[in-house]
Chains A and B, each alone.
Chain A
Amino acid sequence: MENLVEIRNLKVEATTDAGRRLEIIKGIDLDIAPGEIVALIGESGSGKTTIALTIMGYARPGCRISGGSITVAGKNMVALGERQRAQVRGLEVSYVPQSAAAAFNPSKRIIDQVVEVTRIHRLMPLAQAREKAISLFRALSLPDPEGIGYRYPHQVSGGQLQRLAAAMALIADPKLVIFDEPTTALDVTTQIEVLRAFKAVMKKSGSAGVYVSHDLAVVAQIADRIVVLRGGEVQEVGNTADILSNARHPYTRELLSAFEPKARGASVVAVAESRPLLQVSGLIAGYGPTQADGLPLVRAVQEASLSLERGRNLGIIGESGCGKSTLARSIAGILPASAGKLTLDGRELARSARQRSREQLRELQIVFQHADTSLNPAKSIEEILGRPLKFYHGMKGKARDARIDELLDMVRLPKSLRSRTPAELSGGQKQRVNFARALAAEPKLIVCDEITSALDTVVAAAVIDLLKEMQRELALSYIFISHDLSVVEAICDEIVVMYNGRKVEEITPARSKVPQHPYSQLLFSSVPKLDPGWLDSLERDPELVKTYVHG
């Protein structure tokens, strides 16, 4: 049978602000058979989303399809006019965006947006459309299928939004659905639910799919075929099984290798005295007006106590909303704790950063998850790195320049980046600069808040290696906050599992990797494996799921 989608020698070019054209998709061929699910995988900037969108005859502002043909159900999307393209969009090909949270119009009720496709293409009366939507909600195992549609986007959780977005895409029974990193933003435990839901409905509807992702493990669960992309070119194509078992292309192997568990070598820094570097006891922090008992209305962290010895690393793991970031922020004094005691290197720390001495601030640095919001876009890299040098160490002129080069070198960045602004750096590079800025302070402790979760697996792995290396050289300690177990395992000596603001368990991977607490177990078991059968074979105690999963 002939293919649903046939892409031949597709070229897409982007116009830089210099007015220079450059090719970001360099001649791609791709076929998708009806009912087949094809995964496009690659790191950010590999052009996977761009390709997916071209199937709808759409190119983001600043880009244009410069060559080749895209045939969808016999129509060449490249040749069609804007009107005819609109006829295809939503009707024959539909799109599940990367972040449903952003893709839902915040000022309109969900149901109206879900059924909008049917309104646009005048498919069916409103009432019927709503019923269909509700049945889809049910199929996607959303809670309260009748009611949920009548809420506003900000009133439902991320996992639910992602599924609602899928409903929005499926309502017109399209021949092809494009999933653009639909689960990246989700917690692992939720991700499973969503993946299962997707898989189910896709099977039921029998429509083909394009699944764009950077996560091989996830892709492995849902795709029939995998296309590995890099720099706008296809590196390798093959059945999921083949790719996973015997990848030919080196880049593919690199991707795979990111999944091999890297054990944390026992902390190399021999610490004579075991006086704890940081001690946190009975810390309570949260938001909202202070209550009679002097505690905040919403308590994101309850009675947390930690202890970290010099040269060792503490991992804090848990899902979004478990309070791990709040904990990090109150340790850093950004969100002053409302109760509890903090001591750094024996000296007591004031709860609010404002009251801490410059020296204390220097010794304890924090690195945030989103490098692009934590680097001032208006400043060049050297300004960003130079400031703490001047601020803490009063460095100027030559000395400072030399030190900046050193720092760049430490984080494996070329000196030529000095004059650039963050916008000109890739995600990985940004995160390195972000980290280098913390190093510039020559701290004793760095709190890393989800610093790898925004990065592609390969890049993330590299950053982790960097962290380890720095630790060896500079006798640092990290508090490493993440929702990604594999990352935490890779670098930490102790792992604290947090749930709902409380510390539920503390594990020392060196000794035992088996979590005791049921939630920890659920969490650990939810991390996707490369094995394609993993999702289907995975057994989860529904009770546990009910108690702990709120996706």
Chain B
Amino acid sequence: MRTYVLGLIANRLGSSALTLLIVSFAVFFATAMLPGDTATILLGQAATPEAVAGLRAAMHLDEPAFLRFARWLVGLLHGDLGTSYVNNVPVADLIGTRFVNTMRLAGITTFFAVPLSLALGITAAMFRGSVYDRVVTVLTIGIISVPEFMIATSAVLLFSVYLKWLPALSFASDATSFAQVLKIYAMPVITLTFVVSAQMIRMTRAAVIDTINTPYVEAAILKGASRWRAVLLHALPNAVGPIANAIALSLSYLVGGVIIVETIFNYPGIAKLMVDGVSTRDLPLIQSCAIIFCVGYLTLITFADIVAILANPRVR
């Protein structure tokens, strides 16, 4: 059995590796399609032909793109993300702190969003059809249909400009004490929780409802179990698979999807880094970011799958 599970997991990891490769190629071709090259863009208004030529030469941009990509890929296998075209800093250094920031933001958001979503989703499922349920369902839709920047800006206006409770910007570096971390992260976390939770709530609700109408839950109730016991101890464990999957998908958004939040709260994360990369055609940077997003996504999905596998004794 144990080996079987390990087999399954190995299988997942294998396919993830394949996906990674596909992504790196896709990203390469996408970026290769981008018009304009780094040198021209760096020089901006000052892009006189000779200046461009000079800079290109200085940046080894005159080599064929595929060669550069291949070199980068090989480097990647040795754990080297390459060097940024734009400022000759190792991409790893550029990403380093920002990656940590992104992870921290994602982590804190998860810490609040997931329990909240689960609670709402499960209760909504338990009292299916009730007023409470309807309110929750409509609200979730309502909330996801408000543009992200709208939520963020409103939050800032309310909490920072008028109430002056929280800072309008969140500088990861200022976080010294725990209290401060809360203060600094409050705003982006609130925004992201709004953005991310809705889908998790919906899926949780659906998954739990599926398992509530099963004979074994009925059996539990006929054993005299309370509704709560029946749902939490009998329905929920069997809904873990789909719920984990939904959560993973939603959380993957927190890795690369938070560009708007990063912009509005001036939070230095990788999403913004990649946007910079795109606008400066800094291929190594773009590719590295893309790979990171992909890895993040795959890790979450794979993790979800593994959870599902472990939660289900039949395949265990």
Contacts and interface: CB of A to CB of B under 8 A. Distances in A.
Direct contact of A and B (CB under 8 A): yes
Interface in B219-265: 219-227, 229, 233-234, 237-238, 240
A129 B96 CA distance: 56
B214 interface: yes
A544 B224 CA distance: 41
Interface residues of B, number: 24
A106 interface: yes
B224 A106 contact: no
A90 interface: yes
B145 interface: no
B311 interface: yes
A99 B219 CA distance: 11
Nearest to B213: A61
A307 to B, nearest CB: 40
B314 interface: yes
Contacts, number: 74
Contacts of B216: 102-106
Contacts of B223: 89-90, 94-95, 116-117, 120, 168
Contact of B222 (A89, A107, A108, A152): A89
Nearest to B227: A82
Interface residues of A, number: 30
A333 interface: no
B224 A105 contact: no
A128 interface: no
A94 to B, nearest CB: 7
Contact of B238 (A107, A117, A168): A107
Contact of B219 (A60, A86, A103, A121): A103
A91 interface: yes
B215 A86 contact: no
A56 interface: yes
B35 interface: no
Contact of A116 (B215, B220, B312): B220
A89 B221 contact: yes
A355 interface: no
Interface in A236-278: none
A120 B225 contact: yes
A87 interface: yes
A528 interface: no
Nearest to B315: A154
A440 to B, nearest CB: 35
A182 interface: no
Interface in A49-75: 53, 56, 58, 60-61
A321 to B, nearest CB: 18
B238 A105 contact: yes
B312 A91 contact: no
Given A95-B219, A103-B219, A106-B238, A86 B313 contact: no
Given A97-B219, A99-B215, A154-B314, A105 B225 contact: no
B313 A152 contact: yes
A104 B218 CA distance: 10
Contacts of A186: none
Contacts of A317: none
A264 to B, nearest CB: 38
Contact of B314 (A88, A106, A116, A117): A106
A91 B237 CA distance: 25
Contacts of B238: 105-107
A86 B226 contact: yes
A94 B234 CA distance: 18
Contacts of B227: 82
Given A107-B238, A154-B314, A102 B224 contact: no
Given A91-B224, A106-B238, A120 B313 contact: no
Contacts of B224: 86-91, 117, 120-121
Interface of A: 53, 56, 58, 60-61, 82, 86-91, 94-95, 97, 99, 102-108, 116-117, 120-121, 152, 154, 168
25 contacts: A58-B221, A58-B222, A61-B213, A86-B226, A88-B224, A89-B222, A89-B223, A90-B222, A94-B223, A95-B222, A99-B215, A102-B216, A103-B215, A104-B216, A104-B219, A105-B216, A105-B220, A106-B216, A107-B237, A107-B311, A107-B312, A107-B313, A116-B223, A117-B224, A152-B313
Given A105-B238, A107-B238, A120-B223, 8 more contacts: A90-B224, A94-B222, A105-B220, A106-B216, A106-B312, A106-B314, A120-B224, A152-B314
